[in-house]
Amino acid sequence: MTETTVASPGSPGGSPDKAPPPGGGHNGLGLARFRDLALVPAILVLIVVGALIEPAFLSADNLTNVLQQQTELSLLVLAEAIILIAGKFDLSLESTVGLAPALGVALVIPAASNGLGTDLPVALGVPICLLIGMLVGAFNALLILRFKLSAFIVTLGMLIVLRGLQIGFTGGQNLFALPESFLYLGNARWLGLPASVWICAVAYAAGIVTLGYFRHGRAVYAIGGNADAARAAGVRTDRVMWTVFVVAGLLAALAGLLMTGRLGSVAAAQGDGMIFTVFAAAVIGGISLDGGKGTLFGALCGVLVLGLINNILTLAGVSAQWIQAIYGGIILIALMLARLTTGKAQD
């Protein structure tokens, strides 16, 4: 590399008064880290409040329960967060949660149990389910990247189409006769914790490491921050985006699989309405809807905050008819608090 020195002693570059001395950089990064941790105090407060309201809250059973109930949501938030950081949208994730396991199940069970009559080998069920998630992601990517359609409208259309497909081929029925393989992940316990919690932990760890410490992960941030600049720096933006959409579809199918196992059936409305909570958790967790900003750890904290609130409301005996309104109100308040603590306008 050719070395060129511009620094002449008499001409300090930039505005020296504005730039902290080298080493002050640790402050800068420390502050960024601090923003990631902004929700940790909120989580602690919620745990204290929960313990005060109901001593049973702190029991290992209840806390495990909170975690397990949030696993499906957290996988969706993981998927959505990566897409949002890359500066795009995906509303169709919630329909994938229903369609992927439903189709996977219907292809392997006999027609008598509401199957499609194809009777594929049962061992193929789970791989098919995950593959469908990836195909949905790839189809979204095709429309958004190749045909340059608006991500919002494309995925809104897909949300409706996928839900409609599921209702169409199941005849609006719930699928009960599930093969053992579909039940395993949602029920198994590994090392004393539900398998789904481990799966989530691994997925988040992989996501955090990839987005934080690998070139291709950083490319997601670069694309969301300024796609033209990323392209100019040699990032293969389309390839990265295809990967992001396919991975998101895969995560949504995995979430559907966990939910199927936990509930023991595939409901016709499985996943219905989850996308709103997904966005709320992501935004509360500091993910910008404009792209390029936020961390997966923050998003995970957003999930935990919402999960704890939900659990506390249930334990506090809030009437089921009111729980939705209160839950929604709390989401709005959390957003306002997030706006106040970060001090910047919400995007």
Q: Based on CB atoms, which residue is closest to another protein, 179 or 225?
A: 225
Question: 3-class secondary structure for 170-188?
Answer: HCCCCECCCCHHHHHHHHC
Q: Which of 190, 214, 276, 322 binds another protein (CB under 8 A)?
A: 214
- Biggest alpha carbon–alpha carbon distance for the chain: 86
Is position 293 an interface residue for another protein (rule: CB under 8 A)?
yes
The first and second tokens of residue 188, run together, are: 């198994």
Is position 241 an interface residue for another protein (rule: CB under 8 A)?
no
Q: Based on CB atoms, which residue is closest to another protein, 222 or 280?
A: 222
- Please, what is the minimum distance in Å from the beta carbon of residue 146 to another protein? 19
- Please, what is the minimum distance in Å from the beta carbon of residue 331 to another protein? 25
Is position 148 an interface residue for another protein (rule: CB under 8 A)?
no
Q: Smallest Cα–Cα separation from 38: which of 316, 298, 330?
A: 298
Is position 25 an interface residue for another protein (rule: CB under 8 A)?
yes
Cα torsion at 17, 22, 23, 25 (round to 10°)?
Answer: 70
Is position 150 an interface residue for another protein (rule: CB under 8 A)?
no
Task: For residue 21, give the DSSP letter.
Answer: P
Distance (Å, rounded) from C-alpha 142 to C-alpha 8? Answer: 52
Distance (Å, rounded) from C-alpha 282 to C-alpha 265? Answer: 28
Distance (Å, rounded) from C-alpha 19 to C-alpha 1? Answer: 27
Residues 6+ apart with CB under 8 A from 61: none
| 254 touches 184 (CB < 8 A) | no
Q: Which of 7, 112, 320, 340 binds another protein (CB under 8 A)?
A: 7
Q: Based on CB atoms, which residue is closest to another protein, 234 or 273?
A: 234
Binding mask 269-288 for another protein (x = CB under 8 A): -------------------x
The one segment of 16-24, 38-46, 247-255, 279-287 that binds another protein by CB under 8 A: 16-24
Is position 209 an interface residue for another protein (rule: CB under 8 A)?
yes
Q: Which of 52, 56, 233, 325 binds another protein (CB under 8 A)?
A: 233
Q: Which of 121, 148, 213, 319 binds another protein (CB under 8 A)?
A: 213
Residues 6+ apart with CB under 8 A from 110: 117, 119, 177
Q: Which of 6, 60, 191, 340 binds another protein (CB under 8 A)?
A: 6
Phi, psi (degrees; rounded to nearest 5) at 53: -70, -40
Q: Based on CB atoms, which residue is closest to another protein, 26 or 148?
A: 26
State the residues that interact with another protein by CB under 8 A.
1-8, 11-16, 18-22, 24-29, 32, 209, 212-215, 218-219, 221-222, 224-226, 228-230, 232-235, 288, 292-293
